[in-house]
């Protein structure tokens, strides 16, 4: 037990920032329910969990046995559906490490995952249980280290600097305590990276997955960070990485050897300057507590650029998932919002955003999807897309000021002006996004 502070609580202590990432979180939550599947390739995605349907199928398949929610760990492994032969537009939310060995990953279309790992077991998402355990592991962390930045349902940044144990062994002592406490509270494991800043901490949390702790000190930049591929930098997507490799830049160390002016010339003033800073491990961002978020968003950068015609099923499924994840984040933190928007980045790195403000507030995933879909009608979808994001802004927390905001429900408020909607082209290209 940590019962003392390592050093006086002043501003001279070196910054120790941790990034904590729950290991295959959505899949691990399901393995708590189905421990008989541990060690097997399991993919989560394709829909929401319906427990009544599961029990009904069990009783039909095994009429001589009694089935209830407390006997799910006795379900024979052969009963669970496999990915083999899957047809549909579903997208993998996550996969166990056994499935990842076959190349299956998050945001991958389930039909593609079925080709890579047909023997994998397919399970639906239980958002309610995911949110419950998310709240539990975060509250466990805050009891030990109060300065926590929420980054979604399965990851956080933690400021170790002035916390007892946060400086011992570079933060390893405190990281071990947090890992142990989370496992005792939830039965789940996590991986933690501790470093001088958020940029390097996030990289470090990937070094020893699952259930690992990685420590990076200021003097470790050249030995531990520079040999990594540039793609490991949070913010360098596949297109930027391809462009970097086209200039002979494959590792972070090679990126650091390029002059700032050269990077600005080839990658733009803002992005080029940022690439120079991060290649030298510089990041002064503080750990922001979740006191008053301005907005909540989810976005994903694709492994390959997607097209609204040739990849419309995959894009539509990813779009729905992003809307559901934003809605889950809002619900998890008790917020409602009234401005709903989208963000696209094309294959030439140009970004566009569109949004609409409703007359009242919502956290409903169907409403968010409908309104975000209307925003998508106002952008050019004939070009290839490398990033897609959904955002909800103008947030309120009901009851914090003694009032209850009016909650939005369909039908929607008036749509954007008709002259700004690309009805003919976008209805044809992306019908799945209409709501």
Just list the catalytic residues.
155
Q: Token pair for residue 68? A: 């209830």
Beta strands in 274-399 (DSSP E): 295-306, 337-346, 351-362, 385-393
In which region does residue 187 sit, left (phi positive, over 0), alpha (psi from -120 to 50) or beta (all else)?
left
- Dump the DSSP string for 260-302: HHHHHHHH-HHHHHHHHHHHTT--------SSS-SEEEEEEEE
Query: If DSSP codes are grouped into helix, strand and coil, which group holds residue 20?
Result: strand
Query: If DSSP codes are grouped into helix, strand and coil, which group holds residue 119?
Result: coil
- Closest residue by Cα to residue 308 from 422, 416, 432: 432
Query: If DSSP codes are grouped into helix, strand and coil, which group holds residue 360?
Result: strand
In the chain, DSSP finds a helix count (H) and a strand count (E) of: 14, 12
Query: What gap in Å lies between CA 314 and CA 306, rounded to an integer?
Result: 9
DSSP state, 221? I
In which region does residue 378 sit, left (phi positive, over 0), alpha (psi from -120 to 50) or beta (all else)?
alpha
Query: If DSSP codes are grouped into helix, strand and coil, which group holds residue 415?
Result: coil
Beta strands in 106-223 (DSSP E): 121-125, 148-150, 155-159, 190-195, 213-215
Query: If DSSP codes are grouped into helix, strand and coil, which group holds residue 116?
Result: helix
Query: What gap in Å lies between CA 379 and CA 395, rounded to an integer?
Result: 25
């Amino acid at each position: 037990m940590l019962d003392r502070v390592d050093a006086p609580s002043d501003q001279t202590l070196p910054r120790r920032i941790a990034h904590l990432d729950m290991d295959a979180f959505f899949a691990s939550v399901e393995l708590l329910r189905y421990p008989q599947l541990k060690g097997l390739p399991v993919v989560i995605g394709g829909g929401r969990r319906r427990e009544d349907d599961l029990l009904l199928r069990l009783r039909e398949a095994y009429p001589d046995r009694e089935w209830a929610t407390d006997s799910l760990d006795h379900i024979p492994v052969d009963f669970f559906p496999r990915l083999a032969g899957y047809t549909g537009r579903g997208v993998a939310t996550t996969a166990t490490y056994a499935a990842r060995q076959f190349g299956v990953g998050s945001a991958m279309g389930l039909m593609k995952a079925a080709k890579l790992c047909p023997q994998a077991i397919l399970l639906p998402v239980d958002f309610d249980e995911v949110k419950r355990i998310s709240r539990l592991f975060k509250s466990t962390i805050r009891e030990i280290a109060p300065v926590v930045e929420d980054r979604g349902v399965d990851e956080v940044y933690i400021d170790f600097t002035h916390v007892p144990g946060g400086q011992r062994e570079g933060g390893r002592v405190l990281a071990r305590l947090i890992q142990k406490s989370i496992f005792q509270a939830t039965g789940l494991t996590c991986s933690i990276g501790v470093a001088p800043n958020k940029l390097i901490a996030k990289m470090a949390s990937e070094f020893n997955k699952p259930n690992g702790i990685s420590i990076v000190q200021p003097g470790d930049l050249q030995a531990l960070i520079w040999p990594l591929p540039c793609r490991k930098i949070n913010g360098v997507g596949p297109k930027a990485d391809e462009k970097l490799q086209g200039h002979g830049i494959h590792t972070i160390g090679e990126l650091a050897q390029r002059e700032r002016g050269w990077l600005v010339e080839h990658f733009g003033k803002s992005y080029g300057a940022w690439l120079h800073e991060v290649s030298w491990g510089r990041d002064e961002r503080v750990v922001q507590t979740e006191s008053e978020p301005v907005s909540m968003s989810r976005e994903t950068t694709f492994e390959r650029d997607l097209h609204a015609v040739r990849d419309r099923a995959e894009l539509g499924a990813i779009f729905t998932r992003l809307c559901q994840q934003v809605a889950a984040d809002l619900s998890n933190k008790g917020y409602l919002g009234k401005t709903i928007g989208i963000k696209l980045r094309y294959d030439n790195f140009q970004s566009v955003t569109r949004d609409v403000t409703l007359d009242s507030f919502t956290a409903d995933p169907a409403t968010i999807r409908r309104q975000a879909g209307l925003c998508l009608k106002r952008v050019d979808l004939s070009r290839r897309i490398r990033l897609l994001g959904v955002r909800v802004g103008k947030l309120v927390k009901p009851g914090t000021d003694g009032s209850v905001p009016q909650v939005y429900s369909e039908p929607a408020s008036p749509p954007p002006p008709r002259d700004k909607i690309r009805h003919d082209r976008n209805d044809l290209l992306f019908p799945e996004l209409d709501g």
